[in-house]
Amino acid sequence: MRRLKTIKLFVYAALLYPLTLQATELKGRVIRVLDGDTIEVLQEKKPVRIRLANIDAPEKKQAFGNWSANQLKSLIAGKSVTVSYTQKDQYGRIIGRVFTATGTEASLFMVRIGAAWVYERYNTDHALPGVQTQARNQKMKDNN
């Protein structure tokens, strides 16, 4: 009897767990692009630091770092965005999917143009690796 109760408890927990991961949304204007995967969004007169989910990009002092940051700036600097997120990182930054007013997702954009790569360890977007492969193949074609 006790084992049956334990099994039921696990079943209920498994059914309820996805409900605890509901994404939170924030909307604001991008006031700063720190590098190719980190931005600040002004929300309710306060800057909120956002780390783009699923990708990694070079730091500004690394090779292609400024170029990567400039690509992200061209997409979202000074513009309104919507950020969907479920967690923060160890530095207190929101890890989120950032969307422009026209629906372009910043992470996807950055991988597609080769300005960032899939952060395999933390990636939850199953489409991104394929986009990355296409971007690499296109780059090889362009160089031949």
- Which residues are identified as catalytic? 51, 59, 93
Q: Tell me, what DSSP letter sits at residue 22? A: P
| Greatest extent of the chain over all pairs of C-alpha atoms, in Å | 69
By residue count, the chain amounts to 144
Contact 113, 71 (CB under 8 A): yes
Helix (H, G, I), strand (E, B) or coil at 41: strand
Can you spell out the DSSP letters for 45-114? Answer: TEEEEEEETTEE---TTSTTHHHHHHHHHHHHTTSEEEEEEEEE-TTS-EEEEEEETT--BHHHHHHHTT
